[in-house]
Amino acid sequence: MEGAMEPLPAGLEEKRRALERALGRPVRVRGVRTPDRGLRGRLRVERARVVIEYQVAEVGYFWHLPVIEELLDRAAAGEAWAELRE
């Protein structure tokens, strides 16, 4: 199940917007809930957009922020697909 894009902390939001400008396409960051508990996050660079998904954890925990940052960095470095796992 896919979640809506939530506001990112200022530093990550600027990085997301910079990536949009550099790639010329929208960058969507969203939380997902999957039965695959080993999944931390994944990146897909598509023709029309970039999708960064992270596994939603307990409310109030922010462990997903470093996952988002790593996937933004990988997309900026030219990677088209990545999956981060436990």
pLDDT tens, position by position, 27-50: 999 999 889 989 999 999 999 999
What mean pLDDT is reported for the chain? 90
| Contact call for residues 42 and 53 (beta carbons, < 8 A) | yes
Place of tokens 């999708």: 51
* Within-domain flag for 3: no
43: closest CA among 9, 11, 77? 77
* Within-domain flag for 2: no
Report field, pTM of the whole predicted structure over 0.85: yes
* Within-domain flag for 4: no
| Contact call for residues 71 and 84 (beta carbons, < 8 A) | yes
Assess whether pLDDT exceeds 50 at residue 1: no
* Within-domain flag for 45: yes
